Amino acid sequence: MTQGTEGVSGTQAHGSGPKAAPAQSERSPARTAESPGTAAHLLPHEESDELGLRLQHAVGDFVDEPRAAVQEADRVLEEATGRFTEAMTRRRRTLRATWQSPETTDTDTEQLRLALRDYRELTERLLSM
């Protein structure tokens, strides 16, 4: 994957101190790409790879067709931001459902703690892009 697509597919938020993301061993082992946690990539590898290849082709075509190359790079960025926005919206909707469900009460502090952790991780990851 190219450096240009690394932020789209996502990497774990970096940081130190009390606000750093918990180590992988502290995360729930049952997480999947559809779960609200941020351990999974925001976009599937296939989408990230496809966008990265399109961008690479645009860069490679610059010498022969500079305007067309820049136009393609613009389309790739537009598509990447659209897909990223959709992925973030889905992730937030899923995360919200985990703590706003009727089964989750104010006394279910473990579920709320996990939700807060996932919100923090997702927000830190977004801010580090």
Q: What is the pLDDT of residue 66?
A: 97
Helices 45-60 and 66-100 meet at what angle, rounded to 10?
160
Alpha-carbon 21 to chain mean position: 15
Going by C-alpha positions, the residue among 11, 85, 76, 78 that lies closest to residue 50 is: 76
Instruction: Give residue 108's pLDDT.
Output: 85
In this prediction, residue 71 carries a pLDDT of 98
pLDDT at 90 over 70: yes
Give per-residue pLDDT as tens, 37-83.
444 577 899 999 999 999 999 999 999 999 999 999 999 999 999 99
Q: Global pTM?
A: 0.60
